[in-house]
């Protein structure tokens, strides 16, 4: 099964624990919808940016969570 995962980081790239625990995503759309719903809580919880990976391969990022 393909797994899409988010890595949560400070602006300097240091990995941080997310304020909201992500689920296992089976599609890129599911992963992006989840980040769309939870970005504010993640930002408030100390994550500045996220990187999306598919089975360990980076797809894109880091993407700032506070982008307007």
pLDDT digits (tens, 9 = 90+) for 11-20: 999 999 999 9
Nearest Cα to Cα of residue 35 among 46, 56, 49: 49
pTM: 0.91
DSSP at 32: H
What's the rounded Cα separation, in Å, for the pair 47 and 7? Answer: 10
pLDDT in tens, 26-49: 999 999 999 999 999 999 999 999
What's the rounded Cα separation, in Å, for the pair 68 and 1? Answer: 33
CB 47 within 8 A of CB 55: no
């Amino acid at each position: 099964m393909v797994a899409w995962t988010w890595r949560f980081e400070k602006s300097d790239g240091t990995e941080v624990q997310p304020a909201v625990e992500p689920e296992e995503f089976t599609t890129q759309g599911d992963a992006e919808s989840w980040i769309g719903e939870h970005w504010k809580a993640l930002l408030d919880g100390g994550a500045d940016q996220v990187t999306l990976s598919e089975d360990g391969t980076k797809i894109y990022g880091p993407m700032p969570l506070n982008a307007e």
